[in-house]
Amino acid sequence: MMKWIFSGLIVASLVFGVGLGRMDAVSNAAITECGGAVKLAITLAGSMALWSGMMRIAQKAGITERLSRLFAPVVRVLFRGLPPESPAAQAMCLNISANLLGLGNAATPLGIAAMRQLDLLNRHSPEASNYMCMFVVLNTASLQVIPTTTALLRANAGSAAPMEIMPATWVASGASILSGILVAKLLEGRRGNTRQRRGRR
């Protein structure tokens, strides 16, 4: 899917560049942004390597099991049938913990690891499971108790009180995650009813 989106963006930029007579700008952007893409890839690779290693250490130290027990009630409600001590649940718990602390860079590799475990449970099916859909909702909405990354960006931009956004962050992230969970559960129920009707046929 993503390959078609990126291909469409490239074609659209070329079409608009020719139509508006701005091909020089398109060419310059393509050349200059190549370096930025490489820098971004290196930055993300370093971050992913760091936090993937941290996850491995957490697993060896038993931290993931403790987090799984802490988040077990949440896992049982949102992911019915998924054992809280499973590798998928442990990876999701680490991802949720990183998001709660506002550590987006840390949450990314942990989220990828969790999705891989969920994909194994889904037997590599081309259709996403209910677990995968719910996890995407939680990871995207990402309830944040301490908006660390945003506060750091505000501090670097010269903000005198970078953490003053905390109440607004709690309200916004709380509203978004509750809305996402409600919609995901609603669609999950409709999906189950659709499958039942197909089975009867």
- Exposure b/e, 63-89, CB count within 10 A at least 16 = b: bbbebbeebeeebeebbeebebebbbb
Could you give the CA distance from residue 58 to residue 46 in angstroms, rounded to a whole number? 18
What would the two tokens of residue 42 be? Answer: 């290196």
* Better-predicted residue by pLDDT, 22 or 190: 22
- Which residue type sits at 143? L
The lowest-confidence range among 134-143, 145-154, 186-195 is: 186-195
Output the average pLDDT for the chain: 80
Could you give the CA distance from residue 134 to residue 77 in angstroms, rounded to a whole number? 11
* pLDDT at residue 64, as a whole number: 66
* pLDDT at residue 39, as a whole number: 77
* pLDDT at residue 135, as a whole number: 92
Within 13 Å of residue 138, how many CA atoms lie on the same side as its CB?
A: 26
Residue 12 has pLDDT above 50, yes or no: yes
Cα separations (Å) of 104 from 64, 111, 130?
18, 10, 23
> For residue 32, what pLDDT band results from cuts at 50, 70 and 90?
confident
What would the two tokens of residue 173 be? Answer: 């992230």
Could you give the CA distance from residue 165 to residue 168 in angstroms, rounded to a whole number? 5
* pLDDT at residue 81, as a whole number: 87
**pLDDT tens, position by position, 142-152:** 777 777 767 77
> For residue 116, what pLDDT band results from cuts at 50, 70 and 90?
very high
* Better-predicted residue by pLDDT, 111 or 36: 111
Is residue 59 packed enough to be buried (19+ CB in 10 Å), middle (13-18) or exposed (0-12)? middle
Residue 170 has pLDDT above 60, yes or no: yes
Residue in 56, 99, 101, 93 with CA at minimum distance from that of residue 73: 93
Helix H or strand E encompassing 154: helix 148-156
The lowest-confidence range among 7-11, 97-101, 108-112, 119-123 is: 97-101
Coil, helix or strand for 82? coil
* pLDDT at residue 196, as a whole number: 47
The share of the chain scoring above pLDDT 70, in percent, equals: 83
The total of other beta-carbon atoms located within 10 Å of residue 54's CB is 16
| Global confidence as pTM | 0.64
